[in-house]
Every structure is written in C-alpha cells, then in structure tokens.
Amino acid sequence: MDPLNDRLDQSPKLTDHAVSRLPLHAARAELLEEIVSTDVTERPADLPATAPRHRRWLIPLAAAAVVAGVVGATSLWAGGSGQQTPAPASSTAPTVAASPSDDAAVETTAPAPEATGTYAVLDAPGWVATYAESEGDYASVTYEKGDARFEITRYPASSYDMYVDDREHIVEPPAPGEPVEVAGLAGQMWAYSADDHTVIREVQDGSWLELRGGEMTLQALLEALSNVRIVDRGAFEASLPDRFVTDDERPAAGVSLIDGIVGVTGAGWPDGAERTVDSEEQDPYQLGADVAGAYACAWIEEFAAATRDGDDSRAAAAARLLGTSRDWPVLQEMDAEGDYPEMVWELADQVAAGQVPQGFRGSLGCH
C-alpha cells in the first residue's frame, strides 16, 4: 500500500467547471501583469484566452458594504423572491442584521451612490445569465444560450493598455484587433478560433469592457454585440434571474447563511473575531464563499491562537467546530457547483490532525 497514492486518490478532483466556480477573480490582473511584463522575446506562443483566472485559492472579502434586505437562505439556490429593487442611493446609515446569537451578528453599511452606466448587459432573446460576480472596479457576467457562451467583464481604466497589449499577441505578428462597435463606442476584436472571439471596448467613465464569445460564429457574436446595453447597477441587478442576490437582499441573505452554519455548530464568531462579512457578490456561490470563508477563517484563527498559547481545551473546541463543516448547509449546497467546499473541508481536516494549515488566510481571504 502506498499512503501517498492513496492520499492522492482521495483528493478532490478539479473539473473545468469546478475551477470556473472558484471565486478567485482578484488574482487575474496580478498574474496578467506578470505575463505582460515579460520580455516580448520570451513571451509564450499561446497566451491565456482571458485574463488569468482561478490560479490561486484566494477569496478576498469585498471592501464595499451593503444595506439590509430580506431573503431566505434556501432561496439562494432554489430561486429568489423575485424582488429586484435597487438599494436607495441616499441611504448611508449603518445597520445591524441580527442572527440567533449576538456573536453571529453581521454589520453592514449602505454603499455610496454609484455613477450610472458602469455595467453592461446582454439584452437579447434566449440568452440567460448563469454567473455573475463583482468586487470594486471589477464585475463579470456570463450568459448562455444552448452551447454558446457570452461573457462581459468590466475592468478599471488603469488596466486597459496592459490588456490590449496582451490581446494583440493573440495573432502573429502582434497587431491591433479588427474594429467593431459595442454600445456606441469603438472596440477591437481578435479571433482565437472560428467560433471563439474576444472584444475590448474602449474606456468609458473610468472602466472598460472585454466581451468574449465562445461556441459562436462570427455572425452570432456580432449580433450579440449589437444587443449589449450600458446600464447602472440597479438595472444590472434587475436583469439577473431571481436566484441572484441584490444589494438590498445580500445582508439578510448572508445572515441566513450564517444562521444555517450556527444551527450546526451551535456557536457564532469566536471571542475577539471580526464580525463583519463584506461582500458585493450577486452570485449565490460567490456569496456563500464569502460567508463560509469568513466564518471558517475566524475559527481557524481561533485554533491557531489557542495552539500558540498552549490552550489545549480551547484548541480542541475550535477543532471540533470546524469538524462539522461537512454538515454546513451552505457548503453542501455549493458542493454541487464547484470545489470551494472541498478546500474548506481539507483545511478542517488539517486542523483535526492538530495542524495550523499553512496559507489558510490566503485560501479563505482572511484580513
């Protein structure tokens, strides 16, 4: 018997779909910057099709907070309430959404009013939004229609030149893309293949868009591009299917997710732990990662502190709590869509073995 091979056989397998569900968008720009800073003569022949994504187990907690609303935990995967009312722009007072115990309270504040026209949607029959995520200046939404896939990603203006330079190397010799127009503004288009194209739209109001069409003919892509609309955040959220979470709904949804975890563990946040979970995510999977990651992180830090202090009883209590993670409802729901729960469970197993997991803060986005 080979213990190492047995261990590898039991390790979670990462499928392409599972990798795409890992909420790791913060690593994209950093890795792309490393790529484009490489001398051109050393540049690999095949560049990444999109900004490098999902290369690190990193779940950053978003900086902006949100206002309170109402939604049940089960609605995050089973379908939302259907209420798509955007947050009132004038609301700035902090609020506290209560959970079963004071320790599990989640503090939130209303976002500052956002400039209109910084989001983009595909407004065409038959296309359904299947994925959305956002963090600060970054936002992305994916639409599907049969086998076809259309992704719209928003980046800050500061990264525009870097990405254009990268995309120019799709062709040999490097060259600007074919001119196209997207929502009234000029763009450039490059082809990875006959049914796979990417378009970069020029900077507008401090951001720019990349639009990627896969399993689509050029004609189908151009038709989709003609149906892209620039909208504000409220209209963007209203365009998403009911299962997605709006700014109004998110704080209460987060509390509901924590309530589900607390119902299993019987404990809220450990004493002295951060009690605020910040998230801008519309996608239930990404929101679940933010919430479950913050809770798991707090208890691993509790285990680490107890271990450092030589407090065996306290460390054992934290380990027992993390040992229930396979029963946390939010992770059970997420497990069907991606491998983030597997990563949490692996960290919990390391704690159960008496080890403080190396790099757990980066894996879970601990501050």
| Beta strand segments in 216-265, E | 228-231
Domains identified in the chain and CATH numbers: 14-56+115-231 (3.40.1000), 75-112+243-364 (no CATH)
Q: Tokens 């259907």 appear where? A: 82
Give yes or no for a contact between 297 and 365, defined as CB atoms under 8 angstroms apart. yes
Q: For residue range 177-222, what is the model confidence (pLDDT) as tens digits?
A: 999 999 999 999 999 999 999 999 999 999 999 999 999 999 999 9
Q: H or E segment at 272?
A: none
pTM of the full predicted structure? Answer: 0.65
Least confidently predicted of 37-46, 80-89, 213-222: 80-89
Q: What is the pLDDT of residue 160?
A: 98
CA distance 113 to 86: 11
pLDDT-based confidence at 344, cuts 50/70/90? very high
- Average pLDDT of the chain is 76
Q: What is the pLDDT of residue 276?
A: 78
User: Dihedral of the CA atoms 355, 358, 362, 364 (nearest 10)?
Assistant: -20
CA–CA separation, 44 vs 349, rounded Å? 39
Confidence bin at 91 (pLDDT 50/70/90): very low
Predicted pLDDT at 274 = 58
Dist. CA 157–CA 155, nearest whole Å: 6
pLDDT greater than 50 at residue 316: yes
- Give percent above pLDDT 70 in the chain: 67
Rounded Cα–Cα distance for residues 214 and 200 (Å): 15
Rounded Cα distance, 335 and 259, in Å? 19
> Could you report the per-residue pLDDT of 108-155, keeping only the tens digit for each?
333 444 434 689 999 999 999 999 988 889 999 999 999 999 999 999
Q: Which residue has the higher pLDDT, 93 or 313?
A: 313
